[in-house]
């Protein structure tokens, strides 16, 4: 499901967000790196009707953990991500990161990879990755150096000077991820980043993904429809219901669950699929 | 026939056949109806007139005046049109307020303004420049507003996520993304602007290509009239092509 | 932690529907424009500078009413007459010629480049020549309007005659239609549909050509009236006539778009021309 902004064209966002400051700096320190979603409701008006997307969503992600959000398609996972990114303001409820409310508009602590890669077609791949750094004040040379590093990490070093129109969908998506990672975000938001990639590449990227996170240890909110992927990557799986979505269950994932050869994995998979109303066993 | 020769035949030879046909019909009409030269001069006469014109200083002065009026008005119209168009594309409230005004003025075709510009500015070049600017402005405003509004929403979200201010987002992302569409609009605007100059000069001018042609028409120097039309067409096509080339080099990332 | 973002909810309740806001802001915009106009006319009232005599909106409105009670109907009819004839002639010939050139490979390659070469030379450029050839009467103006409409519609006609959707072609083959039936049931309707759409697009160029033709020939119609009041320095009347012209264009466009939507509900607009 695509992120739906309230108007057909992203409208005036205030130039500087208002941040709710926690009453005491020490309190903020205590919540550093923590993502809290608190009784969030969200809906928008379309074609004269109010469409409810999220209904009382609440969960917490520990600092440095990866939370994988799974659910039926169209249930509002992308909207949730948009709220966490400050692209939308929730109709009701609040999202907090680092102890402070997520501001509408620019949030320098976060990086996001969208479902459509959203690369600027007039810039080369390297420039696309570098632009975020330049916007945040780095010099051109530094930005390019960092961009090259991260392109290397996602395996696209050879395509530095290529243009987005020359890339396949999967490659463009990887550039998007490199772009988000290059910002060294403390909160990383990913919207089905591996969806457009073939199964083999996806497995490979999943393996590399954990390595990528080791650099920074950001808190990650990862939307996916692929349950095995959620188990492979997530420290916690947030299972959503159908629209209007709420949190059905929060399933913790332990180290031993990730081994696909283990019975623990099979149980975790069955568990999660059961939540989604799918039996893990296809009968004739 | 080998393939290249066949392609040549189709894309060059056949159109030439067409031109031949037209010229033949032209000559035939002359012969059959025995029309005097003041009604329909022969193709040769027109060609000769053109050669003569190209060697006259007065002709180039007229061309220069028309081009000056066009280029100045065009530049003003494009800049203002893109600016207002961007404003309309970015700020929803402004667009809603401005739309009725823009739409109603759009129906007052540039040509309808000609008498008014003559009343206000006389036959000087100021009126013509403003007329061209007006015509070009409206083409660009509508196209820019639409193009900016149709930029892929993901790009806007990416820009916001990367920390771009709204201003920067508009300039560096929306405008760049809309650039190819704007380039085509700029070409269309050039065609309309050029014709507006010519039309204005037909109605009332002190110098310029249009004046040269109307004078020729009054004195029934028809070969000059036709020659002038050819010049109008050539300049118009040249300007369009030139803008197309520039636009493709600067703005087309596809 | 201070207030929740509940503000959004109450704001939603207070917010008007998008259509109401559009109307409100649109009217506000018009009013602002009229206000600016009035202020400017006061500023320029004493003949200083280049724009002397900018009449107030009220003065223009008064002239409009006066004109309406006077010659407006006959002038308008004259202009519309010229337009209608020219438009019909242009559209019909474009439909016919476009059909032929579109379907015949050879004829198309021979003659279409010529049409493409002439197209940039707008019909406006032909005005002096038309006057030399046909004088100041109806014929020259019809020729000009016809030419303008022709040059626009022919592209649509050629496109329409060539572009029969592939699945319709396959259906025709499956039904065993011969060439003549195919022509009647596929090509002709397709061409006519495109011609209709092109004719609407050509409305504004045709109507604009009418005014230029009348400005130069100045014997009858709105354009002639425009020249007449211009020569008597009657600025409010000039503006009033311009408004008549624009309003007629708008009305025709609206009527046409409505008709087109009724007759061809399955087709969307192509490029909407700016003028």
DSSP-derived 3-state class of residue B190: helix
The answer to whether the beta carbons of residues A19 and A100 sit under 8 Å apart is: yes
As a whole number of angstroms, the distance between CA B51 and CA B53 comes to 5
**Better-scored residue on pLDDT, C74 or A205:** C74
pTM of the predicted model as reported, rounded to 2 decimal places: 0.81
In the three-class reduction of DSSP (H, G, I as helix; E, B as strand; rest coil), residue B165 is classed as coil
User: Chain C contacts of A92, Cβ < 8 Å?
Assistant: 4-6, 8-9
Q: Taken in order B77, B78, B80, B82, is the CA torsion positive or negative?
A: positive
CA dihedral C167→C168→C169→C173, nearest 10 degrees, is 100
Measure in Å the smallest separation between the Cα of B120 and chain C Cα atoms. Answer: 5
Provide the 3-class DSSP secondary structure of residue C51: coil
**How many whole angstroms separate alpha carbon C251 and alpha carbon C244?**
10
Question: Is A135 within 8 Å of chain B by CB?
Answer: yes
Chain segment B202-230, per-residue pLDDT in tens = 888 889 999 999 999 888 888 899 999 99
Q: Is A246 left (phi over 0), alpha (psi -120 to 50) or beta?
A: beta
Nearest to C274 among B113, B142, B226 (CB): B142
Which pLDDT tens digit goes with each residue over B71-89? 999 999 999 999 999 999 8
Interchain proximity A131–B254, CB inside 8 Å: no
Contacts of B25 (CB under 8 A, 6+ apart): none
Q: B162–A108: do the CB atoms touch at under 8 Å?
A: no
Q: Which residues of B touch A107 (CB under 8 A)?
A: 161
Residues of chain B contacting C132 with CB distance shorter than 8 Å: 38-39, 217, 220, 222, 225
Instruction: Let me know if C11 is exposed, middle or buried by CB neighbors in 10 A (0-12, 13-18, 19+).
Output: exposed
Chain B residues whose CB is inside 8 A of the A82 CB are 157
Select from B79, B91, B250 the least CA-distant residue to B169. B91
Closest by alpha carbon to C213, among C117, C118, C134, C120? Answer: C134
Closest in C1, C9, C17 to A91, CB measured = C9
**C-alpha distances out from residue A166 to A158, A162, A170, A200, C222, Å:** 13, 7, 12, 22, 56
Mean pLDDT is lowest, of A17-26, B140-149, B200-209, for A17-26
Only one residue has tokens 């090259």, namely: A148
Q: How far is B193 from chain A (nearest CA, A)?
A: 29
Q: Tell me, what DSSP letter sits at residue C15?
A: S
Which positions in chain C touch A89 (Cβ < 8 Å)?
A: 5, 8
B neighbours by CB contacts (3+ pairs under 8 Å): A, C
Residue of chain C with shortest Cα separation from B99:
C26
Q: Cβ of C4 and A22 within 8 Å?
A: no
Say if residue A24's pLDDT is above 70: no
C87 alpha-carbon distance from chain centroid: 11
Cα(C84)–Cα(A145) distance, rounded to whole angstroms? 67
Measuring CA to CA, which residue among A135, A133, A180, A131 is closest to residue A154? Answer: A180
Q: Is the peptide bond before B253 cis (omega within 30 degrees of 0)?
A: no
**Percent of chain B's residues with pLDDT above 70:** 98
Whole-number pLDDT of residue A27: 64
For residue C235 the two structure tokens come to: 């600025």
Nearest chain C CA: its distance from A118 CA (Å): 27
Site from C116, C215, C248, C253 to mutate, B interface, most B CB atoms within 10 angstroms:
C215
- Give me the residue from C1, C5, C17 closest to A89, CB to CB: C5
> What pLDDT does residue C249 have?
92
Best C55, C60, C101, C125 member to test B by mutation, with max B CBs in 10 Å, is: C125
- Report whether A113 contacts A196 (CB < 8 A): no
**Looking at beta carbons, which residues of chain C come within 8 Å of A11?**
none
The answer to whether residue A10 scores a pLDDT higher than 50 is no
Handedness of CA A144, A146, A148, A151 (dihedral sign): negative
Residue C167: exposed, middle, or buried by beta-carbon count in 10 A (0-12, 13-18, 19+)?
Answer: exposed
Taking only the tens of pLDDT, chain C with its 275 residues reads 333 344 444 444 445 677 788 888 889 999 999 999 888 888 777 655 556 678 888 888 988 898 888 888 888 999 999 999 999 999 999 999 998 888 888 888 888 888 888 887 888 889 888 888 888 888 999 999 999 999 999 988 988 888 877 777 788 888 887 777 777 877 888 888 888 888 888 998 899 999 988 888 878 889 889 888 888 888 888 999 999 999 999 999 999 988 888 887 776 544 333 32
C-beta of residue B163 within 8 angstroms of C-beta of residue A17: no
Residue A94: which of C4, C9, C17 has the nearest Cβ? Answer: C4
| Residue B92 tokens, joined | 């929803």
**Dihedral pair phi/psi, residue B253, rounded to 5°:** -100, 5
Comparing A28-37, A137-146, A218-227, A258-267, the range with the smallest average pLDDT is A28-37
Per CB-CB distance under 8 Å, the chain A contacts of C14 are: none
Please name the chains neighbouring A, where neighbouring means 3+ C-beta pairs under 8 angstroms: B, C
A90 touches chain C (CB under 8 A): yes
User: Would you list which residues of chain B are within 8 Å, Cβ to Cβ, of chain A?
Assistant: 89, 91-92, 149, 151-158, 160-166, 168, 173, 176-177, 179, 253-254
pLDDT at C51: 60
Q: Residue B203 has what pLDDT? A: 87
Which chain B residues are within 8 Å of C204, Cβ to Cβ? Answer: 107, 109
Cβ within 8 Å, pair B177-A121: yes
User: What is the rounded (10 degree) CA torsion for B3, B7, B9, B13?
Assistant: -170
Strand-pairing partners, residue A220, are A66, A188
Radius of gyration, alpha carbons of chain A: 19
Give Cα B91 distance to the centre of its chain.
29
Which chain C residues are within 8 Å of B201, Cβ to Cβ? Answer: none
Question: Is the CB of A106 less than 8 angstroms away from the CB of B92?
Answer: no
Q: Share the mean pLDDT of chain B.
A: 88
Q: Are C208 and B109 in contact (CB < 8 Å)?
A: yes
Q: What is the pLDDT of residue C268?
A: 54
- Give pLDDT, residue A284: 65
Angle formed at CA B99 by CA B96 and CA B101, multiple of 5 degrees: 130
Over residues B170-183, mean pLDDT: 89
CB contact at 8 A, A165 and B254: yes
A-C C-beta contacts closer than 8 Å = 26
**Inter-chain residue contact C30 with B236, CB threshold 8 Å:** no
Predicted ipTM? 0.81
Our CA-based measurement puts residue C20 at a distance from the nearest CA of chain A, in whole angstroms, of 12
Give the residue ranges of DSSP H helices in C104-165: 105-118, 127-134, 138-162
Give the model confidence (pLDDT) of B36-54 as tens digits: 777 788 888 889 999 999 9
Structure confidence at residue A179 (pLDDT)? 93
Give chain C positions within 8 Å (CB) of A49. none
Question: What does the pLDDT average to over A94-103?
Answer: 87
What gap in Å lies between CA C205 and CA C91, rounded to an integer? 13
Cross-sheet strand order for the sheet of A247-252: A110-113, A187-191, A219-223, A66-70, A236-240, A247-252
**Residue C175 DSSP symbol:** T
Chain B residues near residue C36 by CB distance under 8 angstroms: none
Number of other residues whose CB lies within 10 A of the CB of residue A230: 26
SS (H, E, C) chain A: CCCCCCCCCCCCCCCCCCCCCCCCHHHHHHCCCCEEEEEEEEEEEECCEEEEEEEEEEEEECCCCEEEEECCCCCCHHHHHHHHCCCCCCCEEEEEECCEECCCCCCCCEEEECCCCCCCCCCCHHHHHHHHHHHCCCCHHHHHHHHHHHHHHCCCHHHCCCCHHHCCHHHHHHHHHHHHHHCCCCEEEEECCCCCCCHHHHHHHHHHHHHHHHCCCCEEEEECCCHHHHHHHCCEEEEECCCCECEEEEEECCHHHHCCCCHHHHHHHHHHHHHCCCCCCCCC
* Contact residues on chain C for B138, CB-CB shorter than 8 A: 274-275
CB of A92 within 8 Å of a chain C CB? The answer is: yes
Which position has the token pair 């009858």? C220
**Across the interface, do B198 and C124 touch by the CB < 8 Å criterion?**
yes
Q: Which residues of A touch C10 (CB under 8 A)?
A: none
CB contact under 8 A, B149 and A9: yes
Beta carbons within 8 Å of A23's beta carbon, 6+ residues apart: C1
Confidence band, pLDDT 50/70/90 cuts, at residue B1: low
For residue B60, pLDDT over 50 is answered with yes
Domains detected in chain B? 40-251 (1.10.3720.10)
Q: Which residue would you say has higher pLDDT here, B30 or B61?
A: B61
**Hey, which residues 10-69 in chain C have their CB within 8 Å of chain A?**
12, 17
CB distance A20–C12 less than 8 Å?
no
| A9:B173 CB<8 A | no
Distance in angstroms (rounded) separating the CA atoms of residues A224 and C122: 57
Backbone angles phi, psi at A106, to 5 degrees: -75, 135
Q: What is the pLDDT of residue A226?
A: 87
- Res. A168 pLDDT band, cuts 50 70 90: confident
Which of A82, A108, A114 is opposite residue B158, by nearest beta carbon?
A114
Using pLDDT thresholds of 50, 70 and 90, give the confidence band for residue A2: very low
Contact list in A for residue C2 (CB cut-off 8 A) is 20
Q: Which of B104, B191, B217 sits opposite C131 (nearest CB)?
A: B217
């Amino acid at each position: 499901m695509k992120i739906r902004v309230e108007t057909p064209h992203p409208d005036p966002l205030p130039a500087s967000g208002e941040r709710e400051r926690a009453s005491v700096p020490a309190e903020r320190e205590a919540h550093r790196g923590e993502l809290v979603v608190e009784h969030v409701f969200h809906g928008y008006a379309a074609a004269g009707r109010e469409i409810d997307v999220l209904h009382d969503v609440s969960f917490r992600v520990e600092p440095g953990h990866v939370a994988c959000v799974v659910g039926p398609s169209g249930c509002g996972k992308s909207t949730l991500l948009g709220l966490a990114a400050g692209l939308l303001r929730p109709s009701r409820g609040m999202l907090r990161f680092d102890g402070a409310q997520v501001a509408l508009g620019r949030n320098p602590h976060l990086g996001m990879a969208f479902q459509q890669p959203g690369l600027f077609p007039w810039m080369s791949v390297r420039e696309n990755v570098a632009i975020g750094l330049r916007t945040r004040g780095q010099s051109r040379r530094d930005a390019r150096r960092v961009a090259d590093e991260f392109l290397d990490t996602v395996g696209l070093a050879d395509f530095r000077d290529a243009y987005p129109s020359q890339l396949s969908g999967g490659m463009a998506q990887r550039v998007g991820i490199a772009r988000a990672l290059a910002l060294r975000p403390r909160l990383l938001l990913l919207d089905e980043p591996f969806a457009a990639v073939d199964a083999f590449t996806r497995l490979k990227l999943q393996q590399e993904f954990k390595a990528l996170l080791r650099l920074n240890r950001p808190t990650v909110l990862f939307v996916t429809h692929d349950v095995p992927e959620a188990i492979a990557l997530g420290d916690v799986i947030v299972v959503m219901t159908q629209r209007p979505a709420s949190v059905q269950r929060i399933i913790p994932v332990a180290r031993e669950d990730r081994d696909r050869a283990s019975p623990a994995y099979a149980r975790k998979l069955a568990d999660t699929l059961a939540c989604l109303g799918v039996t893990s066993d296809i009968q004739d | 026939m080998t393939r290249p020769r066949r392609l040549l035949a189709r894309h060059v030879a056949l159109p030439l056949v067409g031109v031949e046909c037209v010229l033949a019909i032209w000559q035939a009409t002359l012969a059959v109806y025995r029309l005097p030269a003041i009604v329909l001069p022969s193709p040769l006469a027109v060609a000769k007139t053109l050669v003569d014109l190209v060697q006259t200083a007065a002709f180039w002065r007229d061309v220069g005046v028309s081009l000056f009026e066009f280029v100045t008005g065009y530049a003003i119209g494009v800049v203002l049109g893109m600016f207002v168009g961007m404003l309309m594309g970015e700020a929803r409230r402004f667009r809603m307020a401005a739309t009725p005004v823009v739409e109603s003025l759009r129906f007052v075709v540039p040509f309808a303004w000609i008498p008014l510009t003559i009343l206000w500015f006389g036959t000087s070049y100021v009126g013509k420049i403003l007329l061209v600017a007006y015509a070009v402005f409206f083409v660009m405003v509508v196209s820019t507003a639409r193009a900016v509004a149709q930029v892929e929403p993901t790009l806007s979200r990416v820009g916001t996520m990367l920390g771009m201010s709204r201003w920067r987002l508009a300039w560096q992302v929306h405008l760049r993304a809309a650039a190819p569409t704007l380039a085509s609009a700029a070409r269309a605007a050039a065609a309309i602007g050029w014709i507006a100059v010519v039309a204005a000069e037909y109605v009332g001018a002190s110098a310029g290509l249009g004046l040269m042609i109307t004078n020729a028409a009054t004195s029934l120097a028809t070969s000059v009239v036709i020659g002038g039309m050819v010049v109008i067409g050539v300049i118009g096509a040249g300007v369009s092509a030139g803008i197309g080339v520039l636009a493709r080099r600067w703005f087309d990332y596809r | 932690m201070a207030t929740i973002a509940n503000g959004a909810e109450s704001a939603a309740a207070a917010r008007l529907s998008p259509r109401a806001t559009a109307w409100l802001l649109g009217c506000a915009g018009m009013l602002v424009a009229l206000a600016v106009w009035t202020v400017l006319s006061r500023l320029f009232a004493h003949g200083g500078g280049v724009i002397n005599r900018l009449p107030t909106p009220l003065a223009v409105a008064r002239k409009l009413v006066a004109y309406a009670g006077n010659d407006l109907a006959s002038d308008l009819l004259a202009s519309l007459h010229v337009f209608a004839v020219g438009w019909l002639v242009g559209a019909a010939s474009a439909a016919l010629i476009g059909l032929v050139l579109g379907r015949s490979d050879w004829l198309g390659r021979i003659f279409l480049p010529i049409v493409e070469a002439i197209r940039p030379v707008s019909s406006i450029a032909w005005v002096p020549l038309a006057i030399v050839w046909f004088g100041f009467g109806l014929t020259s103006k019809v020729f000009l309007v016809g030419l303008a409409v022709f040059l626009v519609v022919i592209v649509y006609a050629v496109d329409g005659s060539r572009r029969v959707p592939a699945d319709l072609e396959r259906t025709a083959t499956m039904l065993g239609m011969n060439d003549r039936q195919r022509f009647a049931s596929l090509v002709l309707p397709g061409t006519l549909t495109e011609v209709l759409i092109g004719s609407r697009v050509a409305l504004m160029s045709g109507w604009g050509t009418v005014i230029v033709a009348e400005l130069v020939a100045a014997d009858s119609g709105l354009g002639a009236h425009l020249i007449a009041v211009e020569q008597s320095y009657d600025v409010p009347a000039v503006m009033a006539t311009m408004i008549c012209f624009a309003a007629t264009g708008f009305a025709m466009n609206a009527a046409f778009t409505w008709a087109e939507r009724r007759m061809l509900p399955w087709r969307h607009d192509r490029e909407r021309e700016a003028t």
